[in-house]
Structure 1
Amino acid sequence: MRSLTTITLTIFSLCACADNTATLAPKSNDSAAVTALTDGLHHPWSLAFLSNDEWLITERAGTLRQVKDGTLQGGTVEGVPEVAAIGQGGLFDVLPHPNFANNQRLYLSYAKPCGEEGGTTAVGYGRYENGTLTDFQDVYVAEAACTDTAKHFGGRILFDNDGYLFLTIGDRGQRERAQNTQDPAGSVIRLHDDGRIPEDNPLVGQPDNATEIWSWGHRNPQGLALHPQTGKPWLNEHGPRGGDEINVVKPGVNYGWPVITYGREYYGPSIGETEKQGYAQPLLHWTPSIAPSGMAFITGSRYPDWEGHTANGALKLQHLNMVAFDGQQPVSEVRLLQDRKQRIRDVRQGPDGYLYLLTDSNNGQLLKLNPAE
């Protein structure tokens, strides 16, 4: 299926108010075009570019799909590990190794079955050649995060410029776990590409702590991207009823959940304080919640007006969300694709410089965002 649709963009400016709440006000309008490259995807979760003409897409139920020359191939890639496709669990991110051209290592994060009916967040890799994945092996399994709650798995993975592997793990729906550094739930972890724990991780040498942890106090990080200038990972994460966040991921930092949050209980009352000494403030929070998902930084010349913006999928409010930063200060926000009413699950910038999106549904689409003329 191929189609071309014109969309309307709304641009907002952000005002930092006394209570650290971002106030959005309409600023101007613009237009662009989106092309649906394919549909027929079943709850797609992640997109990876192996080359200019070969891409891979994960589907949450546990299947890996191949796109060649812009066309979705029939069938699925063999060799994917068994996943716990329960609740929010399933097959998550797909990511080639930085040296993929030479070692053919393809990384997958997923909900690994554990216990009688539970799952936990895991990451591993296999050798990908000619449409087949072989010799898959786990490099990390969050054994302590095994639970049958079936939610808040996190599951985003990222390599930084030094070759370290980052993985997000949600609080598994048990919020107090995000403050327990003996437990990887509610954290971002940092590993060598083979799963070894780096000696300079912040909790190394501290007895009884989970030394894979890089940062903690996270609820459910669903987007992870490398800043193009600083080389540092940034993430977005879900709050409860409001309080979604964008954060820079720094070693040894406690991001506060659930001690501090701008979100509220789903039934109304506040959860904790909005700020407290010893807990990091988000760079930006969304209230009401947009339910942010995949995240990318826009680089290159395809979208000159959006250079350096963060592009974030939005599941609940069903749009593509772009935020401009001056350093770490948010200065403007753009909401795209609201008229399409689609849950945006993943956002990636392709090797050609264009933005590609995955929509989360039983008949999910792969979209290409064309720049405004």
Structure 2
Amino acid sequence: MVLTLVALLVLLLGVPEISRPRPRTVNTEKGPVLLSVVARGLAQPWGMDILPDGAIVVTEKPGRLRILDRDGTLSAPLAGVPPVVDAGQGGLLDVTVDPAFARNRLLWLAYSEPASDGANSTAVARARLSTDGTTLEGVKVIFRQLPRYPGRLHFGARVVFARDGTVFVTLGERFRDSWREQAQNLRSHLGKVVRLQPDGTAPDDNPFVGRDDALPELWSYGHRNVQGAAIHPETGKLWISEHGPRGGDELNVPKPGGNYGWPLVSHGVEYSGRPVGRGNRSAPGLEDPVATWTPAIAPGGIAFYTDKAFPGWQGNLLVAGLRARAVLRLELDGESVMHEERLIADEGRRIRDVAVGPDGVVYALTDDVRDGRILRLAPGG
């Protein structure tokens, strides 16, 4: 009877399962890594970030936000999360800790927001985490992607802070042929990266400010579905990972005002096997990617590694691979990828996000529907 009630609570409330596999040693090119599961039983987790005390805040796509304390305790869902459209690729997606969290306790959420007419789009809201860590207070939407459509795919939805305090938001082109053409339309948010002030207004030095034919918040365009974003620790430039169609996933360093070509060019093909556009991989006036992947890896979140815990990884870019079912470790030379290693591929799980803790430990998020996990990669083994 007790077991039946516990199972019912897990089903109704999404209470995570607490039993965890034993840690194990994973061999890598740079030495052994100790892999452990620090949380499991999450419902399709999508994004995570690290609080100043080392706790992890994590989203679940159905619309729940939780905090994993450093002692391994996973909280109940926080109150105050705004309504989301949990359909297809939509739901509660990214969470970003404000750089000044120690002072303002702000968290930033990216999610698919419902509209009264049945349409939806990517929205970004900020809210204060209550002092007891149970509630989001003062939720304020600071950005809404327009136009809205009743779709289920390609929301983009990564949020990252630049060094100057501005906020980059990545936005998908919503997938359908009749909508994706707007990735080339400067009066539309579809298929764009936008750069905002924390209050949602456009910075005066954005590349399209002052143009009647463009939205002032746009930073770059011609994107398909950007689900990874990180700031380079030395240059301060934004790097992004982007889903291609059938093949042709991309790593880009978006220039202000740059056109990244979708759907005019691609290194992949349509899901039907047809060429994308005229079948060109590049064209004059369009920016080429830093790297591409065919077959597709389905890249999720990305993070630069700068800590000393893994000395051989310093300056590397870590990429979450959904289809690759691995964390990709990329060795860089400037803006060129010189070498790739796929980590923890033998776990056989789709990796949605990756983050680096204050102690240099790496966390990887799997997006299983009923048993999403937070994995911990630590030195040794």
Normalized against structure 1, the TM-score is what? 0.92
Q: Which amino acid aligns with 2:256?
A: P
Matched to 2:23, the amino acid is L
Q: CA deviation at 1:5?
A: 2.1
Contact (CA 8 Å) 2:119, 2:151: kept in 1 or not? Answer: yes
1:7 aligns with 2:26: yes
Deviation at 1:55, TM superposition (A): 2.3
**1:157, 1:167 within 8 Å by CA — same for their partners in 2?**
yes
1:161 pairs with 2:166? no
Are positions 1:366 and 2:371 aligned together? Answer: no
- Following the alignment from structure 2 to structure 1, what is the Cα–Cα distance between the partners of residues 290 and 87? 32
Cα contact 2:24–2:35 (8 A) shared by 1: yes
2:151 aligned to which of 149, 152, 161: 149
Instruction: Render the CA deviation track for 1:236-257: whole Å, top value 9, x for unaligned.
Output: 0100000000001211000111
What are the Cα deviations for residues 202-258 of structure 1, in whole angstroms up to 9, with x where unaligned? Answer: 111110312111000110001101101001110001000000000012110001111
CA contact (8 A) 1:65 1:72 kept: no
Which aligned pairs between 1:261-340 and structure 2 lie closer than 5 A?
A: 261-271=266-276, 272-340=279-347
Match of 1:102, SS? helix
Q: Please state if 1:249 is matched with 2:254.
A: yes
Amino acid at match of 2:327: L
Whether the aligned pair in 2 keeps the contact of 1:123 and 1:138 (CA below 8 Å) is yes
Task: Return the alpha-carbon distance in structure 1 between the equivalents of residues 364 and 270 of structure 2.
Answer: 31
How many angstroms apart in 1 are the aligned matches of 2:31 and 2:309?
16
Equivalent residue number for residue 22 of structure 1: none
Selected match of 1:170 from 160, 172, 182: 172
How far 1:30 moved relative to its partner? 5.4
Corresponding residue of 1:36:
37
| Deviation string, structure 1 residues 312-358 (Cα, Å, up to 9, x no partner) | 01111211111111001111000111111100011001111111111
Q: 1:79 to 1:224 in 2, by over 3 A?
A: same
Q: Deviations over 1:269-321 (max 9, x none)?
A: 22131111100000000011000001000111111111111100111121111
Question: 2:120 corresponds to which residue?
Answer: 119
Q: What is the Cα deviation at residue 53 of structure 1? A: 4.2
Maintained 8 Å contact 1:104/1:127: yes
Kindly indicate whether the alpha-carbon contact (under 8 Å) linking 1:96 and 1:107 is maintained by their aligned counterparts in 2: yes
User: What is the rounded CA distance, in whole Å, between the counterparts of 2:349 and 2:379 in structure 1?
Assistant: 20
Aligned pair count?
354
Residues 118 and 150, structure 1, Cα contact 8 Å, conserved in 2:
no
Q: CA deviation at 1:52?
A: 2.3
Change (3 A) 1:53 1:325: closer
CA contact (8 A) 1:153 1:220 kept: yes
Selected match of 2:234 from 223, 229, 233: 229
- One-letter amino acid of the counterpart of residue 180, structure 2: R
Matched, 1:138 2:138: no
In the alignment, structure 1 residue 202 sits paired with structure 2 residue 203:
no
Residues 219 and 115 of structure 1: CA distance in aligned 2, closer, same or farther (over 3 Å): farther
Deviation digits for residues 42-98 of structure 1, max 9, x if unmatched?
Answer: 111111222224321111110001111242334211111001111100111111221
Q: Which amino acid aligns with 1:5?
A: R
Q: Distance in 1 between matches of 2:344 and 2:288?
A: 29
Match of 1:346 in 2: 353
Deviates more, 1:300-309 or 1:229-238: 300-309
- With over 3 angstroms needed to count, the CA separation of the structure-2 counterparts of 1:115 and 1:208, relative to structure 1, is farther
User: Take 2:291 and 2:126, find their aligned partners in 1: how far apart are those partners?
Assistant: 33
Aligned amino acid, residue 138 of structure 1: V
Displacement after TM superposition at 1:8 (Å): 4.3
1:366 & 1:297 partners in 2: Cα distance? 18
**What's the offset of the Cα at 1:372?**
4.8
Q: Indicate the RMSD between aligned Cα atoms, in angstroms.
A: 1.4
Distance (whole Å) between structure 2 residues aligned to residue 273 and residue 31 of structure 1: 42
Unaligned ranges ≥5, structure 2 = 1-18
SS of the counterpart of 2:23? strand
| SS of structure 2 residue aligned to 1:72 | coil
Tell whether the 8 Å contact from 2:243 to 2:298 is kept in structure 1 after alignment.
yes
Letter in 1 for 2:95: V
Match of 2:101 in 1: 100
- Residue 139 of structure 1, CA deviation: 0.4
State the distance in 1 between where 2:308 and 2:51 align.
22
Task: For 1:250, give the aligned amino acid.
Answer: K
Secondary structure of the structure 1 residue equivalent to 2:183: helix
Answer 1 or 2: which has greater strand percent: 1
% identity of equivalent residues: 41
Distance 2:119 2:325 in 1: 29
Q: Distance in 2 between matches of 1:270 and 1:33?
A: 43
Structure 2 length-normalised TM? 0.90
**Which residue of structure 2 lines up, in the alignment, with residue 16 of structure 1?**
none
Structure 2 residue aligned with 1:81: 82
Q: Is this contact kept in 2: 1:217–1:255, CA < 8 A? A: yes
Q: How much does 1:177 deviate?
A: 1.4
> Unaligned 5+ residue runs, structure 1?
12-28
